[in-house]
């Protein structure tokens, strides 16, 4: 098939918006006789006029050929090998053209066959993510009608939507992510397929879904995302209790996410445990308050901590398994809210604990006070106390996520 070509006078991507390292990688691959383009989310974001998060390169060169060309390249991935070319902190991901778009409905287990450039875009998820950009000739190369979809703000799968969702149900979460992030409309057949296939989501890997949810909490569009995830019925499949809570009118979970989005857009970075704690705190608070009403004596912090862990398990199990460390920090942040504001509502002389995660708890209180002004005085008192009592406690830096590298056979020492 002949692709449609869009020239610079039409697409207007300014050359200085292209990452210089990605440009260098493409040039070097070409000088060695390979084909190479920018591809995927980076091209989409350039056309939308936003700054791409990452610049991915797609090429005819095989992983070993890429490795031989770049001293700073490492090959990653066991099933699907691709190259990471490192320039200081920055990584340019370079993958070899693959085939893999089939019309067979069924979970994809093999997607590592090499292919042509056309096959490489046909296996991608949405038309807006299926464009190549050649930074040398400044051409956008479109095999999938992605260019007009970006112009018309339409989300449409490449290929038959139900087949594509069944093959990889994570694509449904990605659809909602793009819908929330760009406020694009979903093409009708794609939307119908989303509603028909939503139950398939449980067949995909929990780790991939969990990662997508966390990324969305960090994205600045988390409120819209969780609202849509619930509205389209996917949240119910993943977590029945959370979906039921978000269905309640005026619940504070979405409002808290809105406040987080505002802060993220002003460049605040959040620890992932704090984000998850904020998402489920309003539900937890409701549980605690109701139980407290039923008890003769106010619940003490030990009982609340125990409830916090139980609530985390109820919300995320059976589908997700929350890492132990994360579960511990979330439990601490949630329980601490009742130390900061006791169930009887009385302000006592605050004694800030020397816990490393206390600043996260205080941050959640700040977010809560943003939507409940009556909590502001509590927040002020605790903040002043934590400055006055000792040198201010520094929150640990949100953990940098490290990609786990699988140990290669050759790295293993002979026994
Ligand atoms: P973001 O801006 O959030 O990074 P993205 O579209 O760039 O969005 P990535 O996860 O970086 O998302 O993926 C890069 C590209 O790989 C996508 O643009 C798309 O072409 C392709 N892709 C990613 N996930 C899938 C999938 N599940 N199925 C098919 N293609 C995918
Ligand atoms: Mg990307």
**Residue of the CA atom closest to atom 25 of ligand 1:** 125
User: So what's the pLDDT on residue 104?
Assistant: 67
DSSP states along 215-238: HHHTTT-HHHHHHHHHHTTHHHHH
Summary count for the chain: helices (H), strands (E): 19, 10
**Strand locations in 79-222, DSSP E?**
82-87, 90-96, 131-134, 139-142, 154-155, 185-186
pLDDT of residue 36: 98
Q: Which residues of 13-23 are buried (b: 16+ CB within 10 A; e: fewer)?
A: beeeebbebbb
How many angstroms does the Cα of residue 390 sit away from the middle of ligand 1? 46
Cα 412 to ligand 2 centroid, rounded to whole Å: 32
Q: If DSSP codes are grouped into helix, strand and coil, which group holds residue 365? A: helix
pLDDT tens sequence for the chain (415 residues): 899 999 999 999 999 999 999 999 999 999 999 999 999 999 999 999 999 989 999 999 999 999 999 999 999 987 788 999 999 999 999 999 999 766 666 666 555 689 999 999 999 999 999 999 999 999 999 999 999 999 999 999 999 999 999 999 999 999 999 999 999 999 999 999 999 999 999 999 999 999 999 999 999 999 999 999 999 999 999 999 999 999 999 899 999 999 999 999 999 999 999 999 999 999 999 999 999 999 988 899 999 999 999 999 999 988 999 999 999 999 999 999 999 999 987 777 788 888 889 999 999 999 999 999 999 999 999 999 887 766 555 666 666 555 555 544 443 333 2
Let me know: does 34 contact 70? Beta carbons within 8 Å: no
CB neighbour class for 337 (10 Å; exposed up to 12, middle 13-18, buried from 19): buried
**Ligand nearest, relative to CA of residue 55:** 2
- Which residues contact ligand 1 via a Cβ below 6 A? 40-41, 53-54, 56, 124-125, 129, 168, 170-171
Up-side HSE of residue 85: CA atoms within 13 Å toward CB? 26
Q: How far apart are the CA of 400 and the centre of ligand 2, in A?
A: 18
From 174, 176, 207, 225, the mutation candidate for ligand 1 (largest count of ligand atoms within 8 A of CB) is 174
Q: Which residue ranges form the domains of the chain, and what is each CATH number?
A: 1-152 (3.30.460.10), 155-248 (1.10.110.30), 271-389 (no CATH)
CA distance 82 to 253: 39
Name the residues annotated as catalytic: 54, 56, 125
Q: Which of 22, 40, 96 for a ligand 1 pocket mutation test, highest count of atoms within 8 Å of Cβ?
A: 40
Relative to the alpha carbon of 44, which ligand is closest?
Answer: 1
- The residue whose CA is least distant from atom 3 of ligand 1 is 41
Q: Residue 380's CB: how many other CB atoms inside 10 A? A: 12
Tell me how far apart the alpha carbons of residues 354 and 392 are, in angstroms, rounded to a whole number: 10
Please tell me the distance between residue 90's alpha carbon and the centre of ligand 1 in angstroms.
Answer: 18
pLDDT of residue 101: 67
pLDDT at 405 (0 to 100): 53
Instruction: Return the ligand 1 atom nearest residue 130 CA.
Output: 20
Q: What angle do CA 239, 168, 208 make, to 5 degrees?
A: 50
Q: Dihedral, CA atoms, 262, 264, 265, 268, nearest 10 degrees?
A: 110
């Amino acid at each position: 098939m002949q692709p449609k070509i869009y020239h610079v006078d039409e697409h207007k991507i300014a050359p200085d918006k292209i990452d210089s390292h990605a440009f260098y990688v493409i040039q070097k691959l070409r000088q060695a006789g390979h084909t190479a383009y920018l591809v995927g989310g980076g091209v989409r974001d350039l056309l939308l006029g936003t700054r791409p998060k990452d610049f991915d390169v797609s090429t005819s060169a095989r992983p070993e050929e890429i490795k031989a060309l770049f001293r700073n390249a490492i090959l990653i991935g066991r099933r699907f090998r691709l190259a990471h070319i490192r320039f200081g902190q920055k990584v340019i991901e370079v993958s070899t053209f693959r085939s893999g778009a089939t019309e067979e409905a069924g979970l994809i287990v093999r997607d590592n066959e090499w292919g042509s450039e056309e096959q490489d875009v046909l296996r991608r998820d949405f038309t807006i993510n299926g464009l190549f950009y050649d930074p040398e000739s400044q051409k956008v190369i479109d095999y999938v009608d992605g260019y007009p979809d970006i112009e018309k703000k339409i989300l449409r799968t490449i290929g038959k939507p139900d087949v594509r969702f069944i093959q990889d149900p994570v694509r449904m979460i990605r659809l909602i992510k793009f819908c929330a992030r760009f406020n694009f409309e979903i093409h009708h057949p794609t939307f119908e397929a989303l509603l028909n296939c939503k139950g398939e989501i449980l067949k995909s890997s929990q780790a991939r879904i969990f990662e997508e949810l966390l990324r969305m909490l960090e994205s600045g569009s988390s409120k819209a995302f969780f609202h849509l995830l619930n509205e389209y019925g996917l949240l119910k499949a993943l977590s029945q209790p959370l979906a039921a809570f978000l269905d309640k009118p005026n619940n504070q979970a979405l409002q808290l996410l809105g406040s987080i989005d505002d802060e993220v857009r002003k460049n605040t970075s959040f620890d992932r445990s704090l984000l998850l704690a904020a998402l489920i705190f309003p539900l937890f608070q409701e549980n605690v308050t109701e139980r407290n009403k039923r008890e003769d004596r106010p619940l003490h912090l030990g009982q609340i901590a125990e409830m916090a862990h139980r609530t985390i398990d109820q919300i995320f199990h059976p589908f997700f398994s929350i890492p132990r460390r994360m579960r511990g920090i979330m439990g601490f942040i949630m329980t601490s809210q009742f130390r900061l504001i006791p169930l009887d509502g009385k302000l006592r002389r605050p004694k800030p604990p020397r816990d490393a995660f206390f600043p996260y708890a205080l941050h959640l209180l700040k977010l809560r006070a943003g939507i409940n002004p009556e909590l502001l005085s509590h927040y002020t008192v605790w903040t002043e106390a934590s400055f006055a009592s000792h040198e201010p406690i520094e929150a640990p830096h949100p953990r940098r996520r490290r990609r786990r590298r699988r140990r290669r056979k050759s790295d293993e020492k002979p026994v």
